[in-house]
Amino acid sequence: MRTRNAILPDADAIHELIATYSGDGTLLPRTLAEICENIRDFTVVEDQGQVIACGALHLYGPHLAEVRSIAVHPDSKGKGAGHRVVKALLQEAERQQVSGVCLFTRIPEFFAPLGFTMANREDLPDKIYKDCLACPKLHCCDEIAMVRGELPKYAFLHQHHIGRGLVKSEA
């Protein structure tokens, strides 16, 4: 198995992997266009030349990054590929000197051994503005927020959301 940064020719394989788990809501769906635009966020694991796992690190800013789109091919589960992807994404977060990394999951047991602990979704407004407000499950979310490192003390929100660039988390 080899873990490496994704490149554009991996986009189709990543798209298929994510689609395998987005039909039932396990993962957020990603279009091929979105994957291509954000290909530099992705890490893949290859086995005998085939992409068998993927994951992405979305950077919000120096205060926060998010691990997302973690998927392992159904035939390749249980061989360590999932943890390999997350560890590579955490190394990238460290290289970027991000102070905290968050994620949203229904399987916290998978992430706890990698240093993630449970958190409140409300403490992560970047995520709420990026994804949650448009989600049909906004008020009945069944995902658990987890954080590794420092909880963010502020958030970067886009102009069209609030008309200001920077807010405190408590705002």
Smallest gap from residue 162 Cβ to ligand COA (A): 28
Count of residues engaged in binding ligand COA, rule: CB under 6 A: 17
Residue 125 near residue 157 (C-beta atoms within 8 A)? yes
Q: Is 102 in the site for ligand COA (CB under 6 A)?
A: no
Rounded Cα gap, residues 84 and 1, in angstroms: 9
Q: Is 87 in the site for ligand COA (CB under 6 A)?
A: no
Residue located via tokens 């499950």: 137
Taking CA atoms, 156 is separated from 24, 37, 93, 110, 136, in Å, by 31, 20, 17, 29, 23
Rounded Cα gap, residues 5 and 110, in angstroms: 22
Task: At 21, list the tokens.
Answer: 């788990």
* DSSP one-letter code for 26: S
Q: Is 156 in the site for ligand COA (CB under 6 A)?
A: no
Q: Is 16 in the site for ligand COA (CB under 6 A)?
A: no
Q: Is 61 in the site for ligand COA (CB under 6 A)?
A: no
Estimate to the nearest angstrom the gap between the alpha carbon of 155 and the chain centroid.
17
Smallest gap from residue 100 Cβ to ligand COA (A): 17
Q: Tell me how many degrees the CA angle 138-139-142 measures, rounded to the nearest 5.
A: 80
Q: Is 147 in the site for ligand COA (CB under 6 A)?
A: no
Q: Is 27 in the site for ligand COA (CB under 6 A)?
A: yes
Task: At 114, list the tokens.
Answer: 């990698």
For ligand COA, the closer CB: 81 or 157: 81
Among 16, 21, 22, 169, binds ligand COA (CB under 6 A): 21
Among 5, 26, 31, 96, binds ligand COA (CB under 6 A): 26
The residue ranges that bind ligand COA (CB under 6 A) are: 21, 26-27, 70-72, 77-83, 105, 107, 109-110
